[in-house]
Amino acid sequence: MPDRYPIRRALRKLLRPIVRRSYQPPKSIEPSDLPGPSLFLLAHPDDEVFCSGLIRYVREQGQPAHIACFTRGEGGTRGSYPDDVDLAAVREKEMEQSAEILGASSLTFLGYEDPETNDDRLESPQFDPLQLQEQLTNLMAKHDISLLVSHGSSGEYWHPAHVTLHEEAKRLAENHRDLSFWTMNAWVPDHPLDRVLNQDDIPTLKLDASSYEEERIQSLLAHQSQLEVFETFVEGSVRDYIDQTHLEAYRQVKP
């Protein structure tokens, strides 16, 4: 697909060896690392697969785990659904099922339209930054959020919507000094699925999500319209994807 960030990508690739020389193995997440209720801020339904282990861990510790989706994912793949089916409604239902399986405390769709992929070109939704920040601030106040978890600095695989939401999450954290901010899919050496990592984000925290394998599989299987995407990532099955991503690494940006 066309590269929307050629200069940014080139500069980061040039600096990457210097950044990685500072790598220290991240520590395992402990209950004391959770400051309070969490908000998982995601670009699309199915992006929770990148942090599904952490959602389960947060709930296991008795803490609320809220999910907010930037879009309803209507620009994504259809799987076996015909063209006349409302994909936004399908993906909203899939996300509701996944959130229920993971035990999420609430699920909010922020209402932005996911642009349709044209000629393999991915796009970010059109939005008013001030409106989005107000929505997120109100959501944080409603749920007394202490921990924000969102996409990494390169949008995992440079998905424009992921990059956009990372920037907006970072701005939100900068405006709320007491808010902890973690980014998902941080880089770790020898990861079997390197292509979905944020190559420039050195992790500070990690979680072995192996004990949540079945919940993670079932939550991903809820996204029937998107399964081929994850199977393509690993050139295998959904279970293969979950097996290869049992290690979740996060970068703690704040505090």
User: 238 phi and psi, to 5 degrees?
Assistant: -60, -40
The pairing of beta strand 27-28 with beta strand 205-208: parallel
pLDDT of residue 15: 63
pLDDT of residue 82: 78
Cα dihedral 183, 184, 186, 189, rounded to 10, equals 160
Report the top-level CATH class of 6-11+37-254: alpha beta
The pairing of beta strand 180-183 with beta strand 205-208: unpaired
CA 21 to chain centroid, in Å, comes to: 26
pTM of the model: 0.92
pLDDT of residue 9: 65
pLDDT of residue 6: 66
Where do the domains of the chain lie?
6-11+37-254
Blockwise average pLDDT, block size 10, the chain, 255 residues: 59 69 90 98 97 98 98 88 89 98 98 81 88 98 98 93 96 95 96 92 97 98 95 94 97 88
pLDDT of residue 1: 40
> Length of the chain, please?
255
